[in-house]
C-alpha cells in the first residue's frame, strides 16, 4: 500500500510529539524536539526534518540517549556558562542553552554559552529564530561526527560543523544564515540516497577518495569542505570552540549517531547572544536593517536574475508555502514513520494533508 506523501504540518508535529512521548520523552521535551524537526521541514531543510525521527527514537530505545536527564550548568560567570547536556536530546539541550544565553545577554549585553554532552541538535536556524523573537543577534556553532576530510586527506576526520547566525529586521525578512562547512549538508546526501537520486559532482568523494555522483558511495566516503581549505579551516575552528573548549568530543571523538551504538555522541555547541539595545535602540536597528536590505535588493541584477535575495529569505517563503500546501515526504520516510507509529500506537494517517483545510494567509505570514 502506497502512503500519502503530503502531510499537514501541525498534525505531523503532533504525531512526532506523541511518538516521542510514547518512546519515553517528557511531554515538554517531546514538544521541543517535534517542533525542531517540523521547523526544518517547513523551511525546506528536509535533511534535518522528520527524516531524523527514526534515528532519534532508535537511540532512545537502545539507551544511547537519556531522555530523562536534565541539562545542568557546570560552570558560570557573568557572561559565560558551560552546560552539560547529560546526553539528552540535542534540541532539548540546545533550547536550554539558548535560553540561558539570551537571559545572560539581557543582563550583561552579551553572553557565550558552551555545551558538552549533547546530541544532534537539528538546524541552527531553529535557535536563531528564538533569538530573533527576543530582538537579539545569535551566533550558533556545533561540531558533528567525522564526515569530512581535512584538506589534503581522503578519509573523514572532522564534521560538517554548522554555523548559523540570526539577525532581526523590521518589515523585511530577518537575516538567517544556516550553513554546514561542507559543500552540502550530509543529510542532503542521505535524502538523495533515500530517493535513489544521484548527487552533483563536487559534493563528495567515495571511500577511496575519488569524486562521485553516487549518493550511496558518498555516504561510505566523505563530503567535501565548502571553499576547499577555507571551509576546512572554519570547520576546524568550530570544532575547537564547540569541542576542545567545552570538554565535548572533537574530531573522531564525536560519535556517529548512525554507526556507534556503544557510546553517546557527546556533541558540543556554542551559542553567542548579543543584546542589540546595548548598542542602539532596537527600533532604530530594525530601520537600519530594512534600509540595508532594501538597498541590497535594489542593486543591478546580473543577466537572468529576477530578484536578489538575502540569506534565509528562500526558507522564509518556503515556510509560508508549506504551511499552506502541506509538507511532502518521500515514500521511504513516510513508510518509516508509519512503521514506528504502529509500534507505538500513533496513527500517521491522522496527519495526512487535506486540500479542504485552508490556512489563513495573513496568519501564516505573521507566525513565520
CB 257 within 8 A of CB 266: no
Cell of 143: 561540531
Cell, residue 237:
575552528
* Distance (Å, whole) CA 313 – CA 319: 10
Q: Tell me the β-bridge partners of 223.
A: 204
**Grid cell in block for residue 229:** 581549505
Q: Is 26 exposed, middle or buried (0-12, 13-18, 19+ CB in 10 A)?
A: middle
120 classed as catalytic: yes
Q: What's the CA gap between 300 and 183, in Å, rounded?
A: 28
Distance CA 246, CA 2 (A): 47
Distance from C-alpha of 202 to C-alpha of 303, rounded to nearest angstrom: 25
First-last CA distance in the chain: 35
Residues comprising the chain, all counted:
368
| The three cell numbers locating residue 87 | 546526553
3-state SS class at 368: coil
Say which of 120, 255, 269, 291 is annotated catalytic.
120
Which residues, listed in sequence order, are joined to residue 112 by a DSSP beta bridge? 80, 272
Contacts (Cβ under 8 Å, ≥6 apart) of 342: none
C-alpha cell at 70: 536534565
Distances (CA, A) of 118 to 147, 204, 265: 18, 27, 7
Beta strands (DSSP E) in the chain are 6-7, 72-76, 80-84, 110-118, 136-142, 163-167, 175-179, 204-205, 211-212, 222-223, 267-275, 327-328
**Which positions ≥6 away from 333 have C-beta within 8 Å?**
50, 51, 194
Residues taking part in catalysis: 120
Amino acid at each position: 500500500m502506497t502512503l500519502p506523501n503530503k502531510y499537514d504540518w501541525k498534525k505531523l508535529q503532533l504525531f512526532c510529539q506523541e511518538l516521542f512521548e510514547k518512546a519515553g520523552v517528557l511531554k515538554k521535551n517531546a514538544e521541543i524536539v517535534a517542533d525542531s524537526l517540523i521547523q526544518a521541514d517547513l523551511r525546506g531543510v528536509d535533511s534535518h526534518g522528520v527524516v531524523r525521527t527514526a534515528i532519534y527514537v532508535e537511540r532512545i530505545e537502545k539507551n544511547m540517549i537519556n531522555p530523562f536527564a536534565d541539562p545542568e550548568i557546570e560552570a558560570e560567570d557573568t557572561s559565560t556558562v558551560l552546560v552539560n547536556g547529560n546526553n539528552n536530546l540535542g534540541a532539548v539541550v540546545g533550547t536550554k542553552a539558548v535560553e540561558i544565553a539570551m537571559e545572560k545577554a539581557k543582563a550583561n549585553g552579551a553572553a557565550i554559552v558552551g555545551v558538552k554532552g549533547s546530541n544532534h541538535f537539528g538546524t541552527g536556524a531553529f535557535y536563531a529564530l528564538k533569538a530573533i523573537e527576543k530582538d537579539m543577534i545569535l551566533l550558533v556553532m556545533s561540531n558533528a561526527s567525522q564526515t569530512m576530510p581535512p584538506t589534503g586527506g581522503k578519509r573523514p576526520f572532522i564534521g560538517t560543523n554548522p554555523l548559523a547566525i540570526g539577525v532581526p529586521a523590521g518589515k523585511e525578512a530577518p537575516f538567517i544564515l544556516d550553513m554546514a562547512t561542507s559543500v552540502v549538508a550530509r543529510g542532503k546526501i542521505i535524502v538523495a540516497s533515500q530517493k535513489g537520486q544521484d548527487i552533483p559532482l563536487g559534493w563528495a568523494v567515495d571511500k577511496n577518495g575519488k569524486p562521485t555522483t553516487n549518493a550511496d558511495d558518498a555516504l561510505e566516503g566523505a563530503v567535501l569542505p565548502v571553499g576547499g581549505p577555507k571551509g576546512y579551516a572554519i570547520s576546524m575552528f568550530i570544532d575547537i570552540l564547540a569541542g576542545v573548549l567545552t570538554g565535548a568530543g572533537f574530531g573522531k571523538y564525536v560519535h556517529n549517531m548512525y554507526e556507534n551504538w556503544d557510546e553517546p555522541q557527546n556533541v558540543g555547541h556554542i551559542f553567542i547572544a548579543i543584546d542589540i539595545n546595548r548598542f542602539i535602540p532596537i527600533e532604530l536597528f530594525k530601520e537600519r536593517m530594512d534600509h540595508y536590505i532594501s538597498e541590497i535588493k535594489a542593486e543591478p541584477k546580473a543577466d537572468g536574475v529576477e530578484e536578489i535575495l538575502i540569506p534565509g529569505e528562500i526558507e522564509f517563503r518556503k515556510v509560508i508555502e508549506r504551511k499552506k500546501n502541506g509538507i511532502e515526504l518521500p515514500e521511504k520516510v513516510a513508510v518509516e514513520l508509519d512503521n514506528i507509529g504502529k509500534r507505538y500506537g500513533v496513527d500517521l494517517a491522522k496527519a495526512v494533508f487535506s486540500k479542504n483545510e485552508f490556512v489563513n494567509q495573513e496568519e501564516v505570514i505573521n507566525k513565520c
